[in-house]
Structure formats: structure tokens, C-alpha cells
Amino acid sequence: MSGLPAVAAFILAWPVAALADQPRPWELGYQRAASPVMEQVESFHGLLLVIITAISVFVLALLLYVMVRFRAGRNPTPSKTSHNTMIEVLWTVVPIMILVVIAIPSFKLLYFADRTSEAGLTVKAVGHQWYWSYEYPDSGNFTFDSRVVCRTADECTQAAKGGQTPLRLLDTDQRIVVPVNTNVRLLVTAVDVIHSWAMPAFGVKLDGVPGRLNETWFRVEREGVYYGQCSELCGVDHGFMPITVEAVSKEKFDAWLKMAQEKFDKVETPAGPPVKGAETPEKKADAGASAGKPAGNGNAVELAGRAN
């Protein structure tokens, strides 16, 4: 096997790649960031961790101080002080300053993760009960379904290929393939109930709502296989809607794209509304009747019937 078929077979084979990012037992913290958005999410998380730790330590120290300094044994006659202007100003101003410190990077991250104006590829994810389908509207407009490979350990063992066992509840029979270092516009919707397309390593979690088209973006910065799942309770098989993204070099992506355009079906384009003023069969019939001609399509069978 050589050339294009070999490249396509390598990309489509689902055994776990060396650089795969996936959940691990007893893992603490986030998965390793694979996109600029996730890097900023981790940075913001670190800032919040410092702030909430400082607040917790301060409140704990204040409570301990009050318990010791103002205990009944040391204060047989309680103080009757009810107001302190300085303290009241401080407990109003300081929380406001903390919220401002949190709000500035928060809004920056929200706008950064919202969408991109310079997308090199568009992928549309459509949630179904209970699988995902994907479309590449600006790369041949083809579509394919992506379903879970195995639900139990026994099914995963039976589905093993080349000595590699697929990940239970995470591997899919058809991966999304994207090129590295390329801005990918992600469109998410659904056809039945609300789903949620979530990929932890990309910092992406976007709801798919029937009748709406939500948008976000990601840029994968290293090759590998990345795993996510539907993150919105969507029915009895909600836990069996994994997401698998394989990031490859641009050369391998071009080879896969040529194969995919030949292998997968085209997206059916719905018929548009009738053009205003266009001549329809009904209008033709009305025109024929007003001219004294029999209404109808004028085909041979119909004319022969009228002659009889």
C-alpha cells in the first residue's frame, strides 16, 4: 500500500496516537492545552486560584482572630459598637476591586474564544440522539456520521486492531480530521434535543440547539488525537456520544480531504423558495384556461384522453 491510499488508511485508523490527549485515572487539573484558547483558560484558572486562596486564608485568619480576641472569657462586658466607617468602606471597596481584577481577563477570554474572522477551515457538528454528524461546507461540502466504537471492555477488546485497543466510550468509528496550526471555525447545531460539543484540550464547550447555529473556533497546535464527549444531558444514551478529533499536518490533511470528498456523501442542499414572478405549473394552467385551452401539462397521455 503506497501513495494516497496509504496516507488515508494511516489517518483513518483509530488506534491511539502517541501524542493523544485523553482522560487518565486520578488525573488532577486540566488536560494538556492544545489550543491558544485553552492556554488562556488555564492562565485565567491560575489567577482565580490565587485570588480565592487568598480570600479563604484571609477569612479563616479573621475568624480565628475573632474567636480568640473576642471570646467571652476575655470580654466579660461585650462591646456595644455597631458601626465603623473605615471597615464599612473597606468591605465595600475591596470586593469591587477584586471583581474588577477578575472581570478584565474574563471579558478578554470571552471575546477571544467567541469566534475568528480568519478561518482556514469550517467544520459543522450536528448533534443527534445519540451520535454526531459532521460537515465540511467549504471543503467539498461532504458529510459523515461519527458513532461510538465500543461501550464495554469486551467490545473494545473485540474491536482491537493492530495491537491497539480503542478507548471505551471515547473512540469513534469516524474521526474529525483537521490540520494543525489552522484556525478552524466550528459551527454547532442539533436536530432533536440540546447537545453540547465539548473538547477539553481545546477549551471548547458549545451547545447545539435545534433551529440555531452556534459558532466558536479552535486552532490545534500539535498533532495527535483528542477526545471529548457530549456535555449536555440529552437522553438515555447521552454517555455514548464521544467526539474524536485527529490533528495532522497540512500535507496529510490534503490527502485525507481528497479521499473524503470521494468517499462521503454530499450535503443535500434544500430547495429554495420559489422565485417571485416565476412561471409555475399552476400559472400555466390558469393561462391556458383563460385562452380557451384545456388546463393541464399537455403531455401525450393527457391529450389523448381528452380526444377520446
CATH topology of domain 121-266: Immunoglobulin-like (2.60.40)
Percent of the chain scoring above 90 in pLDDT? 62
Please give the Cα distance from 308 to 197 (Å, whole number).
Answer: 64
Please provide the average confidence, as pLDDT, over all residues in the chain.
83
pLDDT at 304 over 60: no
pLDDT at 6 over 70: no
What residues does each domain of the chain span?
36-74+83-114, 121-266
CATH of the domain spanning 36-74+83-114, picked from 1.10.287.90, 3.30.70.2500, 1.10.645.10, 3.30.365.10 = 1.10.287.90
pLDDT at 292 over 90: no
pTM of the model: 0.74
pLDDT bucket at 164, cuts 50 / 70 / 90: confident
Higher pLDDT, 7 or 92: 92
Which helix H or strand E contains 132, and what residues bound it?
Answer: strand 131-136
110-145 pLDDT, tens digit per residue, is 999 998 888 999 999 999 999 999 999 999 999 999
pLDDT bucket at 277, cuts 50 / 70 / 90: low
Which range, of 5-9, 18-22, 182-186, 260-264, averages the lowest pLDDT?
5-9
Q: Give 143's contacts (C-beta < 8 A, 6+ positions apart).
A: 133, 134, 135, 136, 264, 265, 266, 267
